[in-house]
Amino acid sequence: MAKTAFHSIHQIVKRIPAGRVATYGQISRMLDGALSAQFVGWALHNAPEDVPWHRVINSKGGVSTRAVLGYAPDLQRQLLEAEGVVFDDDARCDLDVYLWDGSP
């Protein structure tokens, strides 16, 4: 019953289980490419607290909050590590292990 793709993004992000992560491009494909990855980032910035936006990362497997001065750049990494996601020295996580495949 999502009137807008904006709302659909929140629905998908909420479906991401703890300990898993999803990429902007993947979410874009989940919506059948009905939207652009750029909009996903913007939607997360406007996402309510019910949306675990910290589970959404860029295609490199790293956090993307670098452009958000309102939050700590390491905040997203800290939240993911609290859920069991391990980051490498390059600030990247193993997408082969933590990438959400769309299943719980």
Q: Write out the two tokens for 30.
A: 């989940």
Q: Does 28 bind DNA (CB under 7 A)?
A: yes
Nearest distance, CB of residue 18 and DNA, angstroms: 17
Of 20, 14, 15, residue with least CA distance to 95: 20
Of 19, 71, 35, 63, the closest CA to residue 10 belongs to 35
For position 12 contacting DNA by CB under 7 A, the verdict is no
Burial label for 72, CB within 10 Å (0-12, 13-18, 19+), is exposed
Q: Is 83 in the site for DNA (CB under 7 A)?
A: no
Candidate segments 20-28, 81-89, 93-101, binder of DNA by CB under 7 A: 20-28
Residues that bind DNA (CB under 7 A): 4-6, 23-25, 28, 34-42, 44-47, 53, 56-60, 64-68, 70-71
